[in-house]
Amino acid sequence: MPVLPWPFGGGGKKEEAKKEPPTLEPPALEPPALDLPLKFPQTDLPPEALIAVAFVLGGATAIATGTVYKRFFKRIPNSEWITPDILARRRWIKGTVTSVGDADNFRLYHTPGIGWRWPFKFRRVPTASRDLRSQTIHIRIAGVDAPEGAHFGRPAQPFADEALEWLRSQVGGKQIYCRLLRRDQYNRVVAIPLLPPRFLPSALVSGQPLALAMLRAGWVQVYEQAGAEYGPWGKEEFLRLQSEAQAARRGIWVKGTNFESPAEYKRRYARGGSDADMDAEIPLEPEKEEKPGVLRRLVRWAIGSK
């Protein structure tokens, strides 16, 4: 016969007896605090010497920072800012071509340091003529002479327009490197420009010398007047490339070698103005009027002005 549980709570003691006692966790032990004294490097120098060392180190840091800024980050606004020291060191600079004159000179907007191109672009090259005034360097390509354009009432030489268009197609609006050599009699800076590389960035690979490319294409002649500069290639290489273009009848040599040189052309005409053509640059793009932004238009609307 089965045993029935007592209905009045007699079995509660057995259930309580079955419950496990609560477990007690040991208290967390904190690591003992280490009472170690702070030790500073000891020196036998007097305070005056320490102050002098700190002053020398600070001055050296300031000089080094200024030198790096001037060499790699300070922008040269125009030719007047190019010092004799820069020319003596034949310094390389990079910039963007904003306009061209005849086919042997152009205007360069100096773009030092970083921030001019994506993906780190936070500086921009102006495009309006009023913003570029006195902000470009007038570069004269070393070692070559291009057909003269129509200036000061004189007619243009044959192929002057074609040579100009070729130069614009090669460097117009592009970033190039120039090695500054000297000033000429018209305060232009004679330089060795390098064309942009075809594939890799110009910071990694040097491009082709612009003067040699123009000689090879047949759009210029070798400049043989006093003070001519030919860079590391020498006059012989310039003359060799000119002879190749003449033999192949390229550019200005399409009708043969009986072509009047720009120097001979200048001697035929009385000079009514400077051959530097300082104001004859052709802008790469027509100047566009900048439209006001949304915020500016809202302000104008609020105050009732146009």
> What residues act catalytically?
140, 148, 188
Written as six digits, the tokens of 48 are 């005056």
Q: Torsion-angle region of residue 57: left (phi > 0), alpha (psi -120 to 50) or beta?
A: alpha
Backbone dihedral region for residue 288 (phi beyond 0: left; psi -120 to 50: alpha; all else: beta): beta
Closest to 90 (Cα-Cα) out of 216, 202, 178: 178
Using DSSP's 3-state secondary structure scheme, residue 271 falls into coil
- Token pair, residue 69, equals 């800024």
Would you give the end-to-end CA distance of the chain in angstroms?
111
Residue 274 and residue 278: Cα distance in Å, rounded? 8
Sign, Cα dihedral of 235, 233, 258, 273: negative
Residue 187 contacts residue 79 (beta carbons within 8 Å):
yes
- Contacts (Cβ under 8 Å, ≥6 apart) of 97: 106, 107, 108, 109, 171, 172, 173, 174, 176, 284
